[in-house]
Amino acid sequence: MPIVLFYENAPAGAAARIESGLATVLDHYPELAGRIGRDEQGRHCIHLNNEGAIFVEVVCSSELAPFLDKRGNDVKDLVGSSTLELGDGMNRVPLIIQVTRFACGGLALSWEGHHRVCDGSAHTQFLLNWASAARTGSLTPGFVPLIHDRSFLSPRDPPVVEDPLVEFVHKPMSRTTVPGQEVLTLTENLTSKQISHLKSLCGNKYTTYETLSAHFWRCMTAARDFEDRSTLVGHFCPANGRSILNAPPGFFGNAIYHTFVQTSAADLLDGSLEHAAGLIRQAVKRASNRVFLESVIDYLALEQAGEDDRPPQAEAKDQSWIPNVMIPCWSRFPLYEVDFGFGDPFRFSTVNVGIEGVFTIGPPRKDGITEVLINVRKEHAQSLLAHLGN
């Protein structure tokens, strides 16, 4: 998932400072300086070959302002992978950086980090350490030594899948291919007052994520307007397994897994927002235990063994979650605290990766606005905006 941070009034030499900080911090992140591929036995792996991250610097003759309200394909020129030939799936670059300087002095910083290497929690800690290295020339005194050992994620012997939901959720995450369907990226800006109102509709009993994801799930289902109201609609809920697995402090890797909740379109739309939030809470509770997560690890190990035996496949494009949604939450990621020495970013964006039905809940801005980035089919966009209240 490419992320773009926007900065105002970056000084001359800002790109060189960012690049120098990257060189410093990558000494502690060998996975991000390596390549994703396969080993001699054909197994997926990360080659710690120190080939380095990709760093692209661009000078743009236009102003920054026109880019701020753009989303999706309109900002694809701000990410490095849009212009680079990066080879096939056997030698994938795990980290691509692009710095774009604008005529007004503004700056856009994009990074693309591969999920096979690390999850959002690990990647945002990398960003903060990178920014610190750029500001000071070294890592902060409070830097926690990184743990690269993934042994606590090892499957049991023999692997055992104890919850049938695990296989349903992860095979293959229920995405379908819909060629020819244009996917737009919309932005929903929610004030703290609006969020409080939505939570009050749920009796103030549910978390912000449970409330917002219930709201978006219902709005997208209404916008899709299923002729058969008995159609089963689902919600994939990402969860962080670090605490359940007692991951060591400083662990750098991926501990994200998913749970799933499903009901009929009629039940979801005819029921209340509180009812939908309750369904999501039940799903999260079902998956928030060691038995479920160990089953996830065992199942993925079994699936990985089969994938290792297959030749590399091109990534599918024009994917859709219909009739489901996927709603990741970045609200706790400190994206607005990534200071390279010329202030915090004031906006963030993402690039349309062509997967319909994804709602990304961003961290609150300093003005209290929570931005939600939404990938939706063009044919459903106006209806969705209407159901969101825009």
How many domains does the chain divide into?
A: 2
Tokens of residue 312, six digits: 């590399």
Burial class (CB in 10 A: 0-12, 13-18, 19+), 194: middle
- Pair (95, 215) in one structural domain: no
Note down the domain range covering 90: 3-140
Confidence of residue 366 (pLDDT cuts 50, 70, 90): confident
Average pLDDT, the chain: 87
Q: Is 366 among the domain residues?
A: yes
Stretch among 147-151, 176-180, 271-275 having the lowest mean pLDDT = 176-180
Q: Is residue 372 part of a domain?
A: yes
With respect to residue 209, please indicate whether it lies within any of the assigned structural domains: yes
Q: Residues 85-101: what's their mean pLDDT?
A: 78
Give residue 233's pLDDT band: very low, low, confident or very high (50, 70, 90). very high
Listed in sequence order, the residues at least 6 apart from 138 whose beta carbon sits closer than 8 Å to its beta carbon are: 24
Residue 353: per-residue pLDDT: 66
Establish if 371 belongs to a structural domain: yes
Rounded distance between C-alpha atoms, residue 224 and residue 319, angstroms = 16
Q: Domain check: are 319 and 205 in the same one?
A: yes
Residues 179 and 129 in one domain: no
- Best mean pLDDT range from 71-75, 258-262, 270-274: 270-274
In the block, which residue shows the tokens 């701020």?
Answer: 68
CA distances from 365 to 127, 162, 187, 227 (A): 17, 41, 14, 39
| Domain match, 252 and 308 both | yes
Same domain, 70 and 219: no
Same domain, yes or no, for 213 and 110?
A: no
Judge whether residue 349 has pLDDT over 70: yes
Contact 4, 348 (CB under 8 A): yes
User: What is the structure's pLDDT at 374?
Assistant: 92
**C-alpha dist (Å) from residue 382 to 68, 223, 390:** 21, 8, 9
33 within a domain of the structure (yes/no): yes
Mean pLDDT, residues 66-79: 71
Whether residue 153 is contained in a domain is answered as no
- Of the listed ranges 4-13, 23-32, 77-86, 330-339, the least confidently predicted one is 77-86
Identify which has the larger pLDDT, 364 or 144: 364
Whether residues 118 and 180 fall in one domain: no
Handedness of CA 353, 80, 58, 346 (dihedral sign): positive
CA distance 142 to 45: 31
Final residue belonging to a domain, choices 117, 140, 163 = 140
Closest CA to 94 of 38, 44, 31: 31
127 & 202 share domain: no
Q: What is the pLDDT of residue 137?
A: 85
* Any domain includes 156: no
Residue 164 lies in a domain: no
Q: Do 328 and 274 reside in the same domain of the chain? A: yes
Considering the domain architecture, whether residues 84 and 180 belong to the same structural domain is answered as no
181 shares its domain with 323: yes
Confidence band of 323 (pLDDT split at 50, 70, 90): very high
Same domain for 318 and 236? yes
**CATH number reported for the structural domain that contains residue 184 in this entry:** 3.30.559.10
